[in-house]
A and B are shown apart, each in its own frame.
Chain A
Amino acid sequence: MAINRFLFASVFVCCLVATCDGIVSFNSLKPTLTVTATHKGGVLKAGVDNVTVTWMLDPSVPAGTDSSYKTIKVKLCYAPVSQVDRGWRKTKDDLSKDKTCSHKIVAKPYVAGGAVATATWTVQRDVPTAKYFVRAYAHDAADMEVAYGQTTSADKKTNLFDIEAVTGRHVSLDIASVCFSAFSVVSLFGFFFLERRKTKIAEAK
């Protein structure tokens, strides 16, 4: 019994230490924000299309829940299907190590009073091709996450949207690659020709 109590106490202390250390666990956050994302139908193109995000405090939560909220940070997050076999997008409970939401959409100060806040965001050109949802984190004055809201369900399977990345290719680059490659090969044959001429001259001497 004493050991049980000791274990419980040490776990409790560790949790306290963890929060003191700045480690926020996602599972400890409550989904108190209602977030929606609207966009044109079909696949969104990076650099071209817009996403309009709205967020507000869920009316059904008890009053005073949002007393510590200072900033809302809205992020673009990978759906599980786009995380498969990609360890660099892995979901981890420790938010400082979590890589699910790596693209920032917008950060705005929190306005209490239950109003709906909006932001329109053009999909940035470095967003990769994948399936996404939108999540908003509420941060307190110490910039620690204290609550969240997302456009999808808890298992992250519904209401996902696709984004298609830019290729990064340009016609001028394509042409340059082909020309330089061709030049390398042609100059090689030029070398062989020169070499043969040199030995013929040496032979003639």
Chain B
Amino acid sequence: MEISHGSYNQKKFALPVDSEHKATEFRLFSAAAPHMRAFHLSWISFFACFVSTFAAPPLLPIIRDNLDLTATDIGNAGIAAVSGAVFARIAMGTACDLFGPRLASATLTLLTAPAVYCTSIADSPISFLLVRFFTGFSLATFVSTQFWMSSLFSGRVVGTANGVAGGWGNLGGGATQLIMPLVFDLIQNIGATKFTAWRIAFFIPALFQTLSAYGIFFLGQDLPDGNYSELHKSGEKHKDNFAQVFHHAVTNYRGWILALTYGYCFGVELTIDNIIAQYFYDRFNVNLHTAGIIAASFGLANLFSRPGGGMLSDFMAKRFGMRGRLWTLWVVQTLGGVFCIILGQVGSLGVSVAVMLVFSVFVQAACGLTFGVVPFVSRRSLGIISGMTGGGGNVGAVLTQVIFFRGSRYSTETGLTLMGVMMICCTLLITLIYFPQWGGMFCGPSSKGKTTEEDYYMSEWSSSEREKGFHRASLKFSENSRSERGRKIGSAATPIDGTPNTYV
């Protein structure tokens, strides 16, 4: 157990920590401040946002009659629900870099709660689309969740922490398919008519969201040593320059590749959340309740599959380092694509449900595996990289729904098969990711010149910034990220002098 020395008071943490005070262990059943408490606060609020965003689909049979919606209206609202978060996630990444995940996520959650409250007063297809659009912005809390976990947990457990937080949040998309019909039935039994009961039902996710934001504000903490605002004032953390943070994020090609590949695991997951109940209802003629339960089970697999992906990423990293993380991500996501193709081809109900469940495990594990790699792409611009990747997920969902699941160009089963093919093709891009200090899928770490973790992360800071000491946190991170070399200590050399090369 390391307790850091420093100019500030010695702090004792409930979990073992590294030199950055990030926890090196992940204890699920602890709520100790600041690490595990932040974990629970962040997954619960992300869960609440998912519940709100996908609260409408299970009640659509009632809402479409009340608001006189056509199938096109419903499709457009579904696309709107996931498209808002594309830019919100990038903005959230920036906000986390600049203001810290605690304020950023509490702010977004509270600002999108009114959209959920106002779903109760929607009275036309346009107002329905608008409330779904603005509610969808809340899915950007995904970025603050991942950023927060990456700030509090060390490389050894960051995949697990990210995977469990992300997975249990995504669970909301499945849980809502069960929760909302139950709440609706309850309110109807109390005496409300159908067209009023669904409106009242929306207050539940809205209140849940509001309360989770309060929890984050009062109980959460950005970093092990304190909140951004306190650390900024005391000088321990310098307030970074937005233009520089943005520049280092968009010029890092790995961020763009991961954004696209995430679009074909998480984007696929969001698409399925929107269309799968209808698919089973129409193709296999199950009743609406059964279709809802099948749809819920897809999302509920997130309980273990996304965390499983994160844990698998950490496990592979222990033996094979970053190369292990990349290979596993490629294999799992490609298999997800294969099962998606099979899902579109299968014609019997039982086999279809079984294939869907296997498919859900692979596609959600791929999401967890992606965020085992993301924390290492950049230290300075972690927020924007997380935001780009997260936003890419939503772009994938929008693209896929527009190309394959809108109108009657393709039947839903053909759409599923084609979506699987597109998954396999886009996942091939992972082969292009290369870290000079650790290698890529097909190449080992660079042996020429100076290629250490320090070189890679220090290249994000100019020499004048280094003179002022702004890079200290990245330096600590580089030391701690040596674990990404795997069991064999790699052939990467330590720098002889103090001027590392710049790596793109």
Contact = CB atoms under 8 A, between A and B. Distances in A.
Interface of A: 84-88, 97, 125-126, 128-130, 165-170, 173-174, 176-178, 180-182, 184-185, 187-188, 191, 195, 198-199, 202-203
B106 interface: yes
Contacts of B123: 167, 169
Q: Taking chain A's interface residues, is the majority helix, strand, or loop, or is none over half, making it mixed? A: helix
B210 interface: yes
Given A86-B71, A88-B61, A199-B233, A167 B195 contact: yes
A203 B229 CA distance: 10
B181 to A, nearest CB: 16
7 contacts: A130-B68, A165-B195, A168-B66, A168-B196, A169-B121, A169-B123, A184-B213
Interface string B95-122: 0000000010011001101100110110
B114 A185 contact: yes
Interface stretch (B153-161, B199-207, B305-313): B199-207
A184 to B, nearest CB: 4
Interface in B277-310: 282, 285
A88 B71 CA distance: 9
Interface of B: 61, 64-66, 68, 70-72, 103, 106-107, 110-111, 113-114, 117-118, 120-121, 123, 193-196, 198-200, 203, 206-207, 210, 213-214, 217, 229-230, 232-234, 282, 285
A129 B195 CA distance: 12
A125 B194 contact: yes
B177 to A, nearest CB: 17
Contact of A198 (B193, B198, B230): B230
A169 B206 contact: no
Contact of A202 (B195, B196, B200, B234): B234
Given A85-B70, A85-B71, A181-B114, A202 B199 contact: no
A130 B111 CA distance: 36
B117 A180 contact: yes
Contacts of A170: 196
Going nearest first, the 6 A-B pairs with the smallest beta carbon separation are A168-B195, A181-B114, A128-B65, A85-B70, A188-B110, A184-B113
B231 to A, nearest CB: 10
A4 B103 CA distance: 77
Contact of B230 (A130, A168, A180, A199): A199
Contacts of A87: 71, 282
A97 B234 CA distance: 70
B103 A195 contact: yes
Contact of A129 (B68, B117, B285): B68
B199 A169 contact: yes
A168 B193 contact: yes
Contacts of B214: 187
B70 A86 contact: yes
Contacts of A86: 64, 70-71
B121 A174 contact: yes
A185 B282 CA distance: 42
A18 to B, nearest CB: 16
Contacts of A85: 70-72
A177 B120 contact: yes
A56 to B, nearest CB: 32
A166 B195 contact: yes
Contacts of B232: 199
B229 A198 contact: yes
A169 B199 CA distance: 8
Contact of A165 (B66, B70, B285): B66
Given A167-B123, A168-B66, A187-B110, A181 B193 contact: no
A169 to B, nearest CB: 6
B103 A173 contact: no
Contacts of A84: 70
Contacts of A177: 117-118, 120-121
A157 B380 CA distance: 67
Contact of B229 (A129, A185, A199): A199
A149 B214 CA distance: 61
Contacts of B70: 84-86
A168 B230 CA distance: 49
B130 to A, nearest CB: 14
Contacts of B72: 85
B111 A188 contact: yes
A88 B278 CA distance: 10
Contact of A181 (B117, B213, B217, B285): B117
A8 B65 CA distance: 44
B193 A166 contact: yes
A128 B110 contact: no
Contacts of B68: 128-130, 165
B213 to A, nearest CB: 8
Contacts of B207: 180
A181 B116 CA distance: 9
Contacts of A199: 229-230, 232-233
Given A169-B123, A173-B199, A187-B214, A126 B193 contact: yes
Contact of B65 (A165, A176, A180): A165
A86 to B, nearest CB: 6
A198 B232 CA distance: 13
Contacts of A178: 117
A173 B121 contact: yes
Contacts of B118: 177, 181
A154 B341 CA distance: 43
A202 B230 contact: yes
A184 B134 CA distance: 15
Of A128, A166, A178, which is in contact with the most chain B CB atoms at under 10 Å from its CB? A128
Nearest to B65: A128
Given A87-B282, A185-B111, A126 B194 contact: yes
